[in-house]
Amino acid sequence: MGIVTSVPDYKNAAITLSVIVPYFNEQDVLPELHARLTAVLDQLPDSSEIIYIDDGSTDDSLRLVNRFESLTSSIQSVALSRNFGKESAMSAGLEHSNGLAVIVIDADLQDPPELIPEMLAKWREGYDIVNMQRRERLGETWFKRQSAAAFYRLLNSMVKSEIPENVGDFRLLAREVVDHINALPERNRYMKGIFAWPGFKQATIQFQRDARFCGETKWNYFKLIGLAVDGITSFSIRPLRIATVLGSLIALSAFIYGMMIVAKTMLFGDPVTGYPSMMVVQLALGGIQLLCVGVMGEYIGRIFIETKQRPLYLIQSIEQKQPQQTFQSMEKRA
């Protein structure tokens, strides 16, 4: 018997498309999402599965999802044991996916499911990653748009793999890429960076990002700043380098200034003056030192978290449902 085969042995190779929906307290929008999503998937000539990841919702979301049915897609409803954050929920989804193409989509209908056929078409053309780039951000404040743009500029000036601007988590990944991402050992899952890291052949589709169907965004500014710091520190050591360069420059100027003071004292004596310059130098040095210690602290914190090797998420329950109508056009297409 041949053990080595060129065909990868996936858990369920019959599934072409996996759609991952991470959600947290979205009871008001989930029925609408499911209706629109299944309407799209039922039209596809491909077999598909929907993977709902409950990220520790405290409302009725999970009970709703467990009642969902679909004509042509199988449904997995995975419930995490608490709120681990969207990044972990997406990781859970990727690890439970079986499809040859995998799409991550928000539950709040900001990412229109109707674009799925277009994404699949790109994948069929041979692209491994299809990024969905927002053309406009409806329903977002001027301040949020500006801070997002500034953040992308900062991030891309610091990381090596280009992280596409205005591309959220809505995207298609080929099975190969998903397997590589699943194999990454790191705990700190900054997904925008992780999705960009493997490279591969990428396509970008522009789309209009709708406003949230209802409810409120789960990200406040405090969380967003945390995500930004995560993004930079988990994909770049440039802040450490900046700290080193800054330190060297300041040490050099301090040395030159010191020599000047010594020369001046030797030439003109030492009247007691210079309180302002002393204060300025002290405050500047103190501030920069604290900043650099803080930067180092961020990285040490990362190392601390990585060394603990805790799992990214814990699963409380999984429910699986087969499609109501079995998928028959497989042979026709083969």
**Which tokens sit at 300?**
């040490």
Establish if 108 lies at the interface with Mg ion (CB under 5 A). yes
Establish if 26 lies at the interface with ligand UDP (CB under 6 A). yes
Distance CA 188, CA 194 (A): 10
Establish if 110 lies at the interface with Mg ion (CB under 5 A). yes
Burial 203-230 (b: 16+ CB within 10 A, else e): bebebebbebbeeeeeeeeeeeeebbeb
Q: Which is nearer to ligand UDP, 56 or 239 (CB)?
A: 56
Taking the complex as a whole, how short is the minimal distance between the CB of residue 333 and ligand UDP, in angstroms? 32
CA 251 to chain centre: 38
Distance CA 40, CA 311 (A): 34
Taking the complex as a whole, how short is the minimal distance between the CB of residue 212 and ligand UDP, in angstroms? 6
Establish if 217 lies at the interface with ligand UDP (CB under 6 A). yes
Binding-site size for Mg ion (CB under 5 A) equals: 2
CA 85 to chain centre: 10
Distance CA 111, CA 23 (A): 13
Among 22, 99, 198, 323, binds ligand UDP (CB under 6 A): 22
Among 46, 49, 55, 230, binds ligand UDP (CB under 6 A): 55
Distance CA 302, CA 258 (A): 38
Q: Which stretch binds Mg ion (CB under 5 A): 30-38, 108-116, 270-278, 304-312?
A: 108-116
Establish if 111 lies at the interface with ligand UDP (CB under 6 A). no
The neighbour count for residue 43, using CB atoms within 10 Å, is 11
C-alpha distances in Å from residue 127, one per residue of 9, 84, 93: 22, 31, 21
Binding-site size for ligand UDP (CB under 6 A) equals: 17
Among 200, 219, 257, 304, binds ligand UDP (CB under 6 A): 219
Per DSSP, the three-state class of 192 is: helix
Among 20, 101, 107, 196, binds ligand UDP (CB under 6 A): 107
Establish if 230 lies at the interface with Mg ion (CB under 5 A). no
Taking the complex as a whole, how short is the minimal distance between the CB of residue 106 and Mg ion, in angstroms? 5
Taking the complex as a whole, how short is the minimal distance between the CB of residue 108 and Mg ion, in angstroms? 4
Among 89, 104, 129, 227, binds ligand UDP (CB under 6 A): 89
Establish if 24 lies at the interface with ligand UDP (CB under 6 A). yes
Establish if 85 lies at the interface with ligand UDP (CB under 6 A). yes
Pairing of strands 73-80, 167-174: unpaired
Distance CA 200, CA 174 (A): 10
Distance CA 328, CA 128 (A): 27
Q: Which residues here bind ligand UDP, judged by CB under 6 A? A: 22-24, 26, 55, 83, 85-86, 89, 106-108, 110, 212, 217-219
Interface with Mg ion by CB under 5 A: which residues? 108, 110
